[in-house]
């Protein structure tokens, strides 16, 4: 059977001093698959978008800021991650420059600036603890990972770098 994942972007916006990252605390919608967890910003690619355009649009929609500099840090394949077992594939970006000021919240939850070195202390998806350090490390190479899920639980994690 062919692999036909939902394509998405996931972005981590750094503060101007590079010490904090903008996270969304998904606490606004009771039926949200991510309820109670902290995530980066992002969402599904639209048919007429490339990954970079999607990342810019999603961050504009979720945080009311314009990305002026970002880099692709990697990709992740999440077979079985969706609410009904859908497969997801995300392009993961680090946003290092932006214009504008994010609001305190959006319809999905509170937007919070968190110290980069404290992100792993937040209530995250179990799997995020494996790849989030790669987003912020000093290795300039992109990572490419696969993290299968079953019944809402991460099964394994592997990655390579280009």
The tens digit of pLDDT for each residue in 46-70 reads 999 999 999 999 999 999 999 999 9
CB 75 within 8 A of CB 144: yes
Structure tokens at 56: 């810019």
Hey, what CATH topology would domain 6-161 get? Nucleoside Triphosphate Pyrophosphohydrolase (3.90.79)
- What does the pLDDT read at residue 35? 75
Return the exposure string of 135-153: e unless at least 16 CB atoms fall within 10 Å of the residue's CB, then b.
beeeeeebbebebbbeeee
How far apart CA 4 and CA 7 sit, in angstroms, is 9
Span 76-88, average pLDDT: 92
pLDDT higher than threshold 80 for residue 31:
no
Class of residue 27 by CB neighbours under 10 A (exposed 0-12, middle 13-18, buried 19+): middle
pTM: 0.94
Distance of alpha carbon 131 from the chain centroid: 10
Class of residue 22 by CB neighbours under 10 A (exposed 0-12, middle 13-18, buried 19+): buried
- What does the pLDDT read at residue 76? 98
Span 22-38, average pLDDT: 85
pLDDT higher than threshold 90 for residue 156:
yes
How far apart CA 28 and CA 109 sit, in angstroms, is 5
């Amino acid at each position: 059977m062919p692999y036909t994942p939902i394509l998405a972007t996931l972005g981590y916006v750094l503060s101007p001093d590079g010490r904090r990252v903008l996270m969304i605390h998904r606490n606004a919608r009771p039926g949200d698959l991510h309820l109670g967890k902290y995530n980066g910003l992002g969402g599904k690619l639209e048919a007429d978008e490339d990954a970079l355009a999607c990342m810019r649009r999603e961050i504009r929609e979720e945080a009311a800021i314009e990305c002026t500099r970002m880099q692709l840090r990697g990709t992740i394949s999440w077979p079985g991650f969706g609410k009904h077992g859908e497969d997801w594939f995300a392009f993961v970006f680090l946003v290092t420059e932006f214009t504008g000021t994010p609001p305190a919240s959006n319809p999905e939850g509170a937007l919070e600036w968190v110290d980069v070195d404290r992100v792993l202390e937040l209530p995250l998806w179990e799997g995020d603890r494996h790849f989030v350090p790669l987003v912020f490390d000093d290795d300039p190479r992109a990572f490419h990972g696969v993290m299968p899920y079953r019944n809402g639980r991460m099964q394994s994690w592997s990655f390579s770098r280009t």
